[in-house]
Amino acid sequence: MAPVKVTKICCIGAGYVGGPTCAVIALKCPHIRVTIVDLNQARIDAWNSPDFKLPIYEPGLEEVVRQARGRNLFFSTDVDKGIQEADLIFVSVNTPTKKSGVGAGFSADLTYVESATRRIAAVATSSKIVVEKSTVPCRTAESMRTILEANSKPGTRFDILSNPEFLAEGTAIPDLLRPDRVLIGSLQTTEGKNACESLAEVYANWVPRDRILTVGLWSSELSKLAANAMLAQRISSVNALSAICEATGANIEEVAHAIGYDSRIGPKFLRASVGFGGSCFQKDILNLVYLSESLHLPQVAAYWRQVVEMNEYQKSRFSKTVVDTLFNTITGKHIAVLGFAFKADTGDTRESAAISLIRDFLSERAYVTIYDPKVEEAQIWLDLAEACPAMPLETIKKQVNIVHSALEACKQKEAVVIATEWKEFKEIDWETVYTQMTKPAFVFDGRLILDAEKLRKIGFTVKVIGRGDRL
């Protein structure tokens, strides 16, 4: 049997992965009808908004949606219709870390994946290619296949593929338009390979064939976890070195620059910071830890767990530096935190270092003013309430203020903390900031984006992550 020619795609899940991925597929494949479905009415309304006020911020995304929406890209809450009409279905739902039960704090919660899979089985009346797009633990596809086969109607068959995303938030659209590679995993049967070819043909509309890698199902699932674990490991490695730099008087930027010249190492992901965040790095490493433990590989589990522990240490070390520098107490002091997203060019706050820093400042009874150019106020309150479960939201709101400009945030503060590397923070009028701050005025650069010498000449006391005070 020849590979199916895909003419209709349904994506279950209109979030950070499903939305941009399928919008780009629609843009590059005008002959394929792409429908993104989600039960969240507010989210679908935002995707369909006349003024293109999309539910997620990603540079370049609005332009893609403007070109394809209404032509061959559609957003809907009618999940069943989407499933019934599609040849190929992406499952792109949330897989957060479990908060309770077996594997709590480590393993992925596959509730949404299972729910979507059962819905496909219940609704589908014709054969489908089902593509696992969410980040999932190894052998999840096997569970999906079992559910689909146990509930399928006579005459329908399901082929399962793994097609993990390797997007970086902030550059998701360029990553999708010019990917390093597209990875497709399938069962190594004739049917599995045919399904794999059907999806490969979709991507081949704009991705060179030599960048479309086809592998076994389990290799594909593990590759996604492994890629994120290796990237996070590099960040934790350079952050560990930044602690040594601060203790010795070395400069982490100089050290990273020097080792990055080694062609075996390369310069990417060697930028020290207050810590990594985002929806994937920590979640995927903890998944790897849980997988290793369940496979009775405790040394492997301990190795990967240390990457996350170093990241937590970096965040707590930075907040301690703020307290120590401000004469060993920040009780009653006013601190501006610039940035709340986990990185620049996104509105995503998941696992953001800023949340940990602010939680630590609140526990010291400091007053915090927050400014971020893209994160919604409601999201900030939600994140802080979750991070400080012992504090009622009313209490948090007495200690925290959210403002709409960096200058406003810095006014009459004892210290400014850079938590996200937004470009606009480099361009702040620091002389004006200095005149309006309580003296001595402190700046803590947790992202290596400021000209520390220039700030010192203005009069600031500056602390930069990864730079010691010794000469």
Contact 466, 272 (CB under 8 A): yes
How many alpha carbons lie under 13 Å from residue 340 in its C-beta half-sphere?
31
How many alpha carbons lie under 13 Å from residue 2 in its C-beta half-sphere?
4
Cβ partners under 8 Å of residue 431, min gap 6: 458
Question: Which residues are registered as beta bridge partners of 442?
Answer: 415, 461
Contact 448, 419 (CB under 8 A): no
Contact 133, 88 (CB under 8 A): no
- Local structure of residue 2 (DSSP, 8 states): P
- Catalytic pick among 10, 22, 280, 388: 280
Amino acid identity for residue 406 in this structure: A
Strand, helix or coil at 405? coil
Tokens 């995707």 belong to which residue?
Answer: 47
Tokens 């899979």 belong to which residue?
Answer: 117
What's the rounded Cα separation, in Å, for the pair 285 and 300?
11
Contact 232, 273 (CB under 8 A): no
Q: Is 446 exposed, middle or buried (0-12, 13-18, 19+ CB in 10 A)?
A: buried
Strand, helix or coil at 374? coil
* CB neighbourhood size of 3 (10 A): 16
What's the rounded Cα separation, in Å, for the pair 312 and 275?
7
Q: Which of 305, 278, 276 is nearest to 290 (CA)?
A: 305
Contact 94, 12 (CB under 8 A): no
Residue 138 known to be catalytic: no
Contact 13, 38 (CB under 8 A): yes
Catalytic residue ranges: 280
